[in-house]
Structure 1
Amino acid sequence: MLDIVNDILWGKVLIALLVAVGIGFTLFSRFVQFRYFGRMFRILSASQAFKRDKHGHLSSFQALVLSVAGRVGGGNIAGVAVAITLGGPGAIFWMWVIGLMGMATSYLECTLAQAYKTAEPDGTYRGGPAYYISKGLGSQWKWLASLYSVLLLITFGFGFTALQSYAVATSFGDAFGVPVFYTGIGLALVVGLIIFGGVKRIARVAEVLVPVMAGGYLLIAIVVLALNLPRIPDAILLIVNSAFGLEPAIGGGIGAAILMGVKRGLFSNEAGLGSAPNVAAVAYVPHPANQGIVQAFSVFIDTMIICSATAFIILLSGVYDPAAGAEVNGVALTQASLADHVGEWGRSFVSIALLLFGFSTILYNYYLGENSLNFFSNQNQLLFNIFRVAVIGLCTWGAITDLGTVFAFADVTMGFLALANLVALIMLIKPGLRFMRDFDDQIKAGIEQPIFDASKFTDLDIDPAAWDIEPEDLQRVQRTQAASPPSN
């Protein structure tokens, strides 16, 4: 029954909706993800004026690395290998396409999350789909916001936390012979030390961990590319030709290439699922579009950079034959491919990368679960602590349990989670475009760093307290703007 529901949700309904929203908002926004691609880097640089400070705010960069911690996971290592095995090399091309369109979807949902966020007494913010559904669509849609929060808690807070623990423990056991129980215990202890510090401690850990883990994985990918420099054009040609059925490759032809590329791309970058907006809302930024632009960049990092790194590691190896496939699948294919390039230590490197990716995703999943609980019971520390203990227990239980049924169930709840979010995004495209145009108009007027004035949106349920910019930060922005020439 779970398989049937999964096939309907992911094989038909969600793929159509996710692609439609991605392409639709790309057109409505005049290709916002490309128009402001260069600005992504300027925003991150300028966010030093809005860094974590004495007021307890979290910076735009910290929110970015938190979302990258969640987006970058097993799907970037094992998921890409599955896509190539079942859909052929052409699946990577369609993964790229869906990633570029998903950047627009991520921009929309994360801009909305910022605009409708609420201020907390401790200097942080809360927001996400549950908040922009209830505040943006009105009280008559509160039921949808509540349903979304329940699904978020079940899917990410519980289901995917156990699944990540299982993936980390089994991979580590295969590579180093460590019993899964001990890995689960170790993981539970470290996770517990971090999550009891709340979102600020999670952000500080992610700020260090994510650049190290992503940078290390990219570094080994660059080494592989350097070792195979003359063969890179052939690999790119293979990907493009296979995407359009012009290359005899195993995997079911062009239809399978499109299906697997779209599915794996969406599963990996999470654009449209509504998970990343929960994290995007915590950033202290001068305008909602700032974080929308930055979060679009996180989709680019996940799909266009990390997933592509895995794809080239596999396609440039002697393990995968486009005409015959490979004898191994999933993470084993990635491990065998890297070992073919750099020696047997490559297998251990992939296991360590998977450990770091899985660990960071568990922290991200915890925060999503906490945010869903906060929607029902604002800042209830007792409830948070009970959930933290449950997450610690799941880290141990997940490591030693066969989670086939849990995985199928989490897939179904994630499907309904995405469905609820996509319905809301379609209904909130109009205010999303309003926020974007406010940003665009200020840029056209020569304002280097647009400032969000909540008083201009009194017809919307915006929390003015969430848009109070600290005086010293406002002065820094104004001095920067006075010293900088207008730019587009």
Structure 2
Amino acid sequence: MEQFLDYIVGILWGPTLLIGLLGTGIYFSLITKFWQIRHFFDSFRFCFFPEKRGEMLSADKAKVTPYQAACVAIAGSIGSGNIGGVASAIALGGPGVLFWMWMTALVGMMTKMVEVTLAVYYRKLDSDGRKTGGPLFYIERGLGSKFKFWGIFSLLFTVGIFMQLILAPEAYTVGESLHEVTGLRIIYLSAFFCLMCALVIWGGLRRVIGFASFMMPLMSVLYIVFGAYIILINITHIPAAIALIVKSAFTPMAAVGGFAGASFMLIARTGIARGLFSNEAGWGTSPMVHATADQRHPIEQGMWGVMEVFIDTIVICTITGMVIVLTGEWNSGVSGSTLTINAFSHGLGKRFAAYFIAISLFLFSWTTVTGWYSYFHSILEYVFRNSTPMRRTALRILRITTPFFGLLMAYMIDVLNTNVSYAWLIVDISSSVPTYVNLIVLLLLSKTFVAILKDYEGPGKLFGLGEYCKVKVD
């Protein structure tokens, strides 16, 4: 079974998807003259230093500010992949994996901007008067009138996303990390984590939004500060580390120490795959929450998509990767959160590093699970949009059960002694299916995105002022 699943993952995550991910980002970068780079500082200033401070948070329960929507999206993407996922990728493919993660993020900024923009553009008001949108909406409203098989795309996307609910890896990952510092059984620690997620999710979307708006900046700053400290005390080794990362990105890596060696294809595939799993650019997940933002123009929320990828991969993942490479732990033969703990222990001490990574992993995964609840919520709103009683029942069941699906993986591995690779292979399969669908749809709607961008910038303008989009959907 493991060989069969590995074969399927090899096909789905083979050259087709890797080229698709990079190709889509490169295509949109080219047709917009690398908008995400030319206007990076404009986007940064617009997102984090708005003219009106009141736009950051809102007391109106019927409205979600652009900042709050972005916090939920960033919190949903910053998770175990930024700590254990990056470490496992480097342990498998070597330092060159970091380079391909950077490249995926560089063009992924544009991909994320496109999908967020389209999600805001094609969104609708639900029966309660709230904004809702995402890939299912731009599949139907953007392709429905000219592509008769759009329903198949919607089905594949929905199934792929909900597979992430059934086999959510965060509870097991957190349980494994806490086991290292407490010695308690993983299943019990995973159950505690699920209960903490329930405390947030059972409060509904407003509590999820409030939680993400508070926790995302706090946990990110703490991780960046301690990671930056270790990088600074190893500052003299940075040039050599960067040279190693770039060189090994294009050449096969020979076995050294506990590192088994890796081919060029394995290095590139691992870096791109983990880059996607981390920042979710092209996956179609975070546009679902971005669509709820009370934003003036679709492009303005698209800027938050650029910042989302930047913070997740260029900042957080780079902190993890650079610490592992600089401390020389990358070829130690261990992987996952254990490798990250060993790397951070060079500057923080073994005991403190173990607690720090365990707490960081807990916080990152906590916000991921609660953030993803909003995605499942959005999909069910779409599926049952024509039946208010069924929608409310489905959403009530989702709210109650979502926190505890994560126990399934923990139970399989800790109680049934199932090989952990089975679960991760299924996770890889489920993440690839909606990505294929979303990338195809983005390309088919590329003319619409360009029209929205031109509308925002206006004739002869270097940078738009954010008036309402003149290109309207019925």
Percent identity of the aligned residues? 32
| Deviation of the 1:449 alpha carbon | 2.9
Deviation at 1:294, TM superposition (A): 1.1
Q: Which residue of 1 aligns with 2:96?
A: 90
C-alpha separation in 2, matches of 1:101 and 1:175? 38
C-alpha deviation, 1:73, in angstroms:
1.4
User: CA, structure 1 residues 413+252, in 2 after alignment: closer, same or farther (shift >3 Å)?
Assistant: closer
CA contact (8 A) 1:92 1:261 kept: yes
2:267 paired residue among 252, 257, 262: 257
* Corresponding residue SS for 1:52: coil
Contact 2:164–2:430, Cα closer than 8 Å, also in 1 = no
Q: Summarize the alignment of residues 67-216 of structure 1 with structure 2, pairs less than 5 Å apart.
A: 67-122=73-128, 124-139=130-145, 140-160=148-168, 163-216=169-222
Secondary structure of 1:401's partner?
helix
Q: Given residue 137 of structure 2, which amino acid in structure 1 is its aligned partner?
A: Y
Q: Which residue of 1 aligns with 2:292?
A: 282
Q: Aligned residue for 2:384?
A: 377
The question of 1:349 aligning with 2:356 is answered yes
The alpha carbon displacement at 1:157 in A equals 2.8
User: How far does the alpha carbon of each residue in 1:13-36 deviate from its partner, in whole angstroms, 9 at most, with x for none?
Assistant: 211211110111100111111122
Write the distance in 2 (CA, Å) between the matches of 1:143 and 1:448: 35
Matching residue's letter, 1:312: M
RMSD of aligned C-alpha atoms? 2.3
2:119/2:288 contact within 8 Å kept: yes
Q: Indicate how the Cα distance of structure 1 residues 240 and 410 shifts in structure 2: closer, same or farther if over 3 A, else same.
A: closer
2: CA distance between counterparts of 1:225 and 1:191?
32
SS at match of 1:457: coil
Equivalence map 1:250-329=2 (5 Å): 251-320=261-330, 325-329=331-335
Q: 1:42 to 1:218 in 2, by over 3 A?
A: same
Decide which moves more: 255-264 or 382-391.
255-264
Cα deviation, residue 277, structure 1: 0.9
Tell me, yes or no, if the aligned pair for 1:58 and 1:124 is still in contact at 8 Å.
Answer: no
CA distance in 2, matches of 1:335, 1:243: 24
In 1, Cα distance between equivalents of 2:43 and 2:267: 31
Q: Deviations over 1:206-261 (max 9, x none)?
A: 01111111111111111102211222222122212222339877532544332322
Cα distance, 1:318 vs. partner?
4.0
Aligned equivalent of 1:227: 233
Contact 1:241 1:247 in 2 (8 A): no
What's the offset of the Cα at 1:191? 1.9
Question: Which SS does the other structure have where 2:167 is aligned?
Answer: helix
- Distance of aligned partners of 1:123 and 1:39 in 2 relative to their CA distance in 1, 3 Å threshold: farther
Which range is displaced more, 107-116 or 262-271?
262-271
* TM superposition shift of 1:414: 2.0
My pick for the range that moved more, 57-66 or 35-44, is 35-44
Shift of 1:179: 2.9
1:129-153 per-position Cα deviation (integer Å, ceiling 9, x unaligned) = 0000000112534413531453254
Q: Structure 1 counterpart of 2:29, which letter?
A: T
Q: Mind listing any 5+ residue stretches in structure 2 that lack a counterpart?
A: none
- For 1:457, the equivalent position in structure 2 comes to 471
- The separation in 2 between residues aligned to 1:395 and 1:260, in whole angstroms, is 24
The yes-or-no answer on 1:426 pairing with 2:429 is: no
1:17 & 1:296 partners in 2: Cα distance?
A: 19
Counterpart code for 2:321: A
Superposed CA offset, 1:387-432 (max 9, x none): 1222133244443332644433332222111111111111011101
Answer whether contact 1:127 1:278 (CA < 8 A) is retained: yes
Residue 40 (1) aligns with residue 43 (2) = yes
2:84 and 2:412 mapped to 1: Cα distance? 20
Q: Deviation per CA, 1:293-343, whole angstroms, max 9, x where unpaired?
A: 1111110111111111011111121433xxxx2121122111111112221
The one-letter code of the counterpart of 1:223 is Y
Provide the rounded CA distance (Å) in 2 between the counterparts of 1:62 and 1:353: 21
- 1:27 is aligned to 2:30: yes
Is contact 1:180-1:399 (8 Å) kept? yes
CA contact (8 A) 2:91 2:333 kept: no
Matched, 1:392 2:403: yes
Q: Contact 1:57 / 1:123 at 8 angstroms: preserved in 2?
A: no
Number of residues of Structure 1 aligned to a counterpart in Structure 2: 451
SS at match of 1:274: coil
Match of 2:433 in 1: 416
In the superposition, relative to structure 1, how do residues 246 and 387 fare at CA in structure 2: closer, same or farther (>3 Å)? closer
**Structure 1 residue runs without a partner (length 5+):** 462-488
Amino acid at match of 1:359: W
CA contact (8 A) 2:73 2:286 kept: yes
- What is the deviation of 1:288? 0.2
SS in 1 for 2:92: helix
Task: Give deviations 1:423-443, integer Å, cap 9, x for gaps.
Answer: 11110111011111111117x
Q: Contact conserved, 2:70 with 2:308, CA < 8 A, in 1?
A: yes
Contact 1:187 1:395 in 2 (8 A): no
